[in-house]
């Protein structure tokens, strides 16, 4: 088994790509794209038997779920969004400390009567009775939203899939509530939104994650130790 | 195993024919509701959570469609599109596939045969007829050993209506009935045995004290002004102020009497043979009075009607909290169960009253509705002794 190449996926764009490559470089692994600079395949110096794929963070989460990749760097939020029982499927090998963010539930600040998910539950029932339609939640995290809302007993809402600028949805009138990722909260502030008291769904950061079946393999432990020593 | 062999198909067809022939002979019109349904109807009615159990997809024009997760809503939609007035009386029967996603459970496709009766004037008579006809069809199919379990959500409604508390508390207790833990927590808050948690809006509620709606509205307007907040999120200032005023009023309200809370508990634990349980409900109704007396009487009426139809009411089990997991029912709920392989029970058929459904899906008014659906393949397995 250990002869099979290890399929490793690294982010192909954005800050997370730069930070991941920086981390690997400090640990002595030089990562390069094969062929053109925009190539999808890559090579890594300092580790043998590893095949590198450059994918978007979202694709990496999906590839880990499907098992087409063995180990990868991506955001914890994306792992939990893609995989309902992420903790059973994957092993968080190492927390990398960059790309910190929280996935939160936020409502308009003008909703002075709403502080908690329980308030939101009551408002959703009253909203349906009074407006004849469900409250709309704009998000690109529909999986996380459904699971979190169900756990909190909030059922009377509809998800509006949002592909960008989620925090603008309430002002634009396309949704009343949002579930989104936030780092400093300044975007929420600018859009006059507030996080519910118990509305933090997930505290996320970039992680190195591998398929559960591979956890504990010597080459993965070695990789983890070398990355950890330069964090 | 995927698909059905010719033998399996013939057996299922024969069973379906037996069931629907009983329904048709009783005067139920055999219709065929659409398998493909607009997802909106289901999502708006039940909320986003059903997406995790329903096959929802987008058609080429971008509209969300779904494979029907049951035949009740499709039968309601059929009714709405075929009658002049939604309240027109009609009774239908149907048989066909439904689709539900359940992680790890296969198949996702199963058959239901059932009946729905809309617009019947005599509620209890229609309920008795639906239960009796379902049992008759099951017997015609050859089912011998089964149990009938039932509950009545109308009783819970009447119980709350008969106890002294603000209407908003009744509304909240109703809302939480489906979630036993949240219900318990709310009851404890209302009786004052659990303290209200402070939240980020508590200071504003402190400020409101005993303000009426007009004062609360003024305060909300001033607060929005002062913070420079736009009114977004499609709720009026009156809705926001109204909820704040209710929250403030809750603090000043006398707690729910311990005796009343105890009576809610007394009701929720009632279970047993239907006639005995109805006796207990009757005794509790005598104590509580109000609407509860009438609701208890209706339960007695049902027993009488069941007896007239020669149903074995002494063997029916009444469970007060039954129906807690089936959000769309509004009155009588029942299930017909057989012994399962693991010592548990397996539901062969389920039904009840759902008077809010038609208005929820756009009828414009409430329409009395009662029905029942049989899980055809489960019945088939039971008949073959392979449950």
**pLDDT over threshold 50, residue B104:** yes
Q: Does any domain span residue A131?
A: yes
Let me know: does B338 contact B146? Beta carbons within 8 Å: yes
> Which residues make beta-bridge pairs with A101?
A204
Q: Determine what percent of chain A is predicted with pLDDT higher than 70.
A: 97
Q: To the nearest whole angstrom, how far is the Cα of B254 from the nearest Cα of chain A?
A: 22
Verify that A113 and A83 share a domain, yes or no.
Answer: no
**pLDDT over threshold 50, residue B178:** yes
Q: List CB contacts (< 8 A) between B46 and chain A.
A: 155
- ipTM of the modeled complex: 0.86
CA-CA distance, B258 to B255, in Å (whole number)? Answer: 8
Weakest-pLDDT range from A26-35, A61-70, B129-138, B368-377: A26-35
* Cα angle for residues B237, B241, B247 (degrees, 5° grid): 155
For residue B232, give the nearest of A84, A110, A150 by CB distance.
A110
B58, B224, B233: which to substitute to probe chain A, counting the most A Cβ within 10 Å?
B233
Mean pLDDT in residue range A63-86: 95
Answer positive or negative: Cα dihedral of B220, B221, B226, B229: positive
Mean pLDDT in residue range A155-181: 93
pLDDT band, residue A37 (cuts 50/70/90): low
pLDDT band, residue B1 (cuts 50/70/90): low
Mark yes or no for CB contact A110/B233 under 8 Å. yes
Q: Determine what percent of chain B is predicted with pLDDT higher than 90.
A: 81
Verify that A78 and A110 share a domain, yes or no.
Answer: no
Can you give the pLDDT at residue A1? 46
- C-alpha B115: how far from chain center: 16
Q: What is the model's pTM?
A: 0.87
Domain housing A36: 6-100+205-228
Q: Residue A212 in 3-state DSSP?
A: helix
For residue A111, give the nearest of B43, B202, B235 by CB distance.
B235
CA-CA distance, A89 to A66, in Å (whole number)? Answer: 10
Q: Does any domain span residue A1?
A: no
Token pair 């907040």 is found at: B229
Mark yes or no for CB contact A157/B48 under 8 Å. yes
Cis ω before B185 (30° cut-off from 0) = no
Alpha-helical segments (H) within chain A: 14-26, 57-66, 76-82, 86-89, 117-131, 142-151, 169-172, 186-190, 218-228
Verify that A42 and A83 share a domain, yes or no.
Answer: yes
CA dihedral B301, B303, B308, B310 (to 10 degrees): 170
Q: Determine what percent of chain B is predicted with pLDDT higher than 70.
A: 98
Q: To the nearest whole angstrom, how far is the Cα of A114 from the nearest Cα of chain B?
A: 7
Mean pLDDT in residue range A55-77: 96
Let me know: does B94 contact B113? Beta carbons within 8 Å: yes
* Each residue's pLDDT tens digit, B35-70: 999 999 888 887 787 888 899 999 999 899 999 999
pLDDT band, residue B102 (cuts 50/70/90): confident
Total domains in chain A come to 2
Q: Determine what percent of chain A is predicted with pLDDT higher than 90.
A: 78
Residues 6+ apart with CB under 8 A from A97: A205, A206, A231
Q: Does any domain span residue A171?
A: yes
Q: What is the CATH number of the domain that holds A198?
A: 3.40.190.10
Q: To the nearest whole angstrom, how far is the Cα of B276 from the nearest Cα of chain A?
A: 34
- C-alpha A84: how far from chain center: 12
CA-CA distance, A123 to B134, in Å (whole number)? Answer: 39
Mark yes or no for CB contact A109/B48 under 8 Å. no
CA-CA distance, A54 to A8, in Å (whole number)? Answer: 9
Mean pLDDT in residue range B343-363: 92
Mean pLDDT in residue range A68-80: 96
Weakest-pLDDT range from A173-177, B102-106, B318-322: B102-106
Mark yes or no for CB contact A176/B182 under 8 Å. no
* Each residue's pLDDT tens digit, B182-192: 899 999 999 99
Q: Does any domain span residue A112?
A: yes
Can you give the pLDDT at residue B326? 65
Can you give the pLDDT at residue B49? 77
Verify that A173 and A123 share a domain, yes or no.
Answer: yes
Q: Does any domain span residue A35?
A: yes
Mean pLDDT in residue range A153-175: 91
B interface residues, A as partner, C-beta within 8 Å: 43-44, 46-49, 51-52, 103, 172, 175-176, 179, 182, 199-202, 204, 220, 223-224, 227, 229-235, 239-241, 243-244, 247
Mark yes or no for CB contact B49/A126 under 8 Å. no
**pLDDT over threshold 80, residue A35:** no
Can you give the pLDDT at residue B325? 67
Mean pLDDT in residue range A131-135: 89
Can you give the pLDDT at residue A3? 65
Verify that A67 and A106 share a domain, yes or no.
Answer: no
Let me know: does B264 contact B190? Beta carbons within 8 Å: no
Let me know: does A23 contact A230? Beta carbons within 8 Å: yes
**pLDDT over threshold 60, residue A166:** yes
- C-alpha A60: how far from chain center: 10
pLDDT band, residue B382 (cuts 50/70/90): very high
Verify that A84 and A130 share a domain, yes or no.
Answer: no
Phi and psi dihedrals of B158, rounded to 5?
-65, -35
Mean of all residue pLDDT scores within chain B: 93
Q: Does any domain span residue A12?
A: yes
CA-CA distance, A17 to B309, in Å (whole number)? Answer: 73
Count of Cβ atoms closer than 10 Å to residue B247 Cβ: 22
**pLDDT over threshold 70, residue B386:** no
Verify that A90 and A182 share a domain, yes or no.
Answer: no
Verify that A30 and A107 share a domain, yes or no.
Answer: no
pLDDT band, residue A172 (cuts 50/70/90): very high
Q: List CB contacts (< 8 A) between B230 and chain A.
A: 110, 171, 192
Q: Does any domain span residue A219?
A: yes
A108, A113, A114, A194: which to substitute to probe chain B, counting the most B Cβ within 10 Å?
A113
Q: Does any domain span residue A78?
A: yes
């Amino acid at each position: 088994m250990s002869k099979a190449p290890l399929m490793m996926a690294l982010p192909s764009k954005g800050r997370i790509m730069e930070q991941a490559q920086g981390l690997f470089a400090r640990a002595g692994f030089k990562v390069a794209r094969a062929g053109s600079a925009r190539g999808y395949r890559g090579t890594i110096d300092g580790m043998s038997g590893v095949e590198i794929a450059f994918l978007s963070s979202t694709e990496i989460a999906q590839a880990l779920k499907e098992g087409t990749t063995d180990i990868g760097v991506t955001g914890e939020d994306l792992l939990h969004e893609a995989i309902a029982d992420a903790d059973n499927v994957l092993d968080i090998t190492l927390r990398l400390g960059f790309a910190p963010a929280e996935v939160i539930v936020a409502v308009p600040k003008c909703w002075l009567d709403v502080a908690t998910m329980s308030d939101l539950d009551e408002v959703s029932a009253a909203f349906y009775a009074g407006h004849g339609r469900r409250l709309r939640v704009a998000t690109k995290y529909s999986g996380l939203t459904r699971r979190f809302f169900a756990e909190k007993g909030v059922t009377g809402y509809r998800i509006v899939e949002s592909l960008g600028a989620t925090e603008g949805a309430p002002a634009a009138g396309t949704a009343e509530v949002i579930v989104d990722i936030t780092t400093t909260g300044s975007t929420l502030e600018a859009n006059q939104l507030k996080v519910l008291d118990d509305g933090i769904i997930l505290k996320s950061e970039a992680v190195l994650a591998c398929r559960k079946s591979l956890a504990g393999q010597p080459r993965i432990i070695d990789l983890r130790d070398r990355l950890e020593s330069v964090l | 195993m995927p698909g059905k062999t010719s033998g399996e198909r013939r057996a299922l067809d024969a069973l379906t024919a037996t069931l629907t022939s009983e329904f048709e002979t009783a005067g139920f019109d055999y219709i065929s509701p659409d398998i493909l349904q607009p997802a909106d109807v289901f999502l708006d009615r039940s909320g986003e959570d059903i997406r995790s159990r329903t096959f929802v997809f987008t058609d080429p024009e971008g509209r969300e469609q779904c494979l029907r997760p049951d035949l009740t809503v499709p039968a309601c939609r059929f009714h709405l599109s075929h009658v002049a007035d939604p309240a027109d009386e009609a009774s239908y029967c149907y048989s066909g596939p439904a689709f539900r996603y359940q992680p790890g459970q296969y198949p996702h496709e199963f058959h239901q045969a059932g009946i729905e009766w809309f617009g019947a004037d005599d509620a209890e008579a229609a309920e008795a007829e639906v239960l009796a006809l379902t049992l008759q069809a099951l017997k015609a199919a050859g089912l011998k050993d089964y149990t009938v379990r039932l509950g009545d959500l109308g009783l819970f409604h009447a119980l709350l209506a008969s106890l002294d508390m603000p209407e908003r508390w009744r509304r909240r207790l109703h809302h939480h009935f489906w979630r036993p833990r949240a219900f318990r927590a709310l009851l404890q808050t209302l009786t004052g045995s659990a303290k209200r948690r402070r939240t980020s809006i508590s200071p504003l509620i402190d400020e409101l004290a005993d303000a009426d709606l007009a004062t609360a509205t003024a305060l909300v307007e001033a607060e929005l002004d002062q913070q420079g907040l736009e009114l977004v999120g499609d709720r009026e200032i009156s809705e926001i102020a109204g909820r704040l005023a209710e929250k403030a009023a809750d603090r000043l309200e006398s707690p729910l009497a311990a005796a009343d809370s105890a009576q809610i508990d007394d009701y929720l634990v009632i279970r047993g043979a239907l006639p005995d349980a109805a006796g207990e409900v009757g005794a509790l109704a005598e104590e509580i009075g109000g609407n509860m007396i009438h609701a208890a009487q209706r339960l007695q009426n049902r027993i009488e009607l069941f007896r007239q139809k020669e149903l074995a009411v002494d063997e029916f089990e009444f469970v007060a909290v039954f129906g807690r997991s089936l959000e769309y029912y509004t009155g009588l709920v029942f299930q017909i169960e057989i012994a399962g392989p693991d010592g548990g029970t397996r539901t062969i058929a389920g039904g009840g009253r759902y008077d809010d459904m038609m208005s929820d899906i756009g009828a414009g008014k409430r329409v009395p509705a009662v029905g029942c659906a049989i899980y055809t393949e489960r019945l088939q397995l039971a008949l073959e002794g392979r449950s």
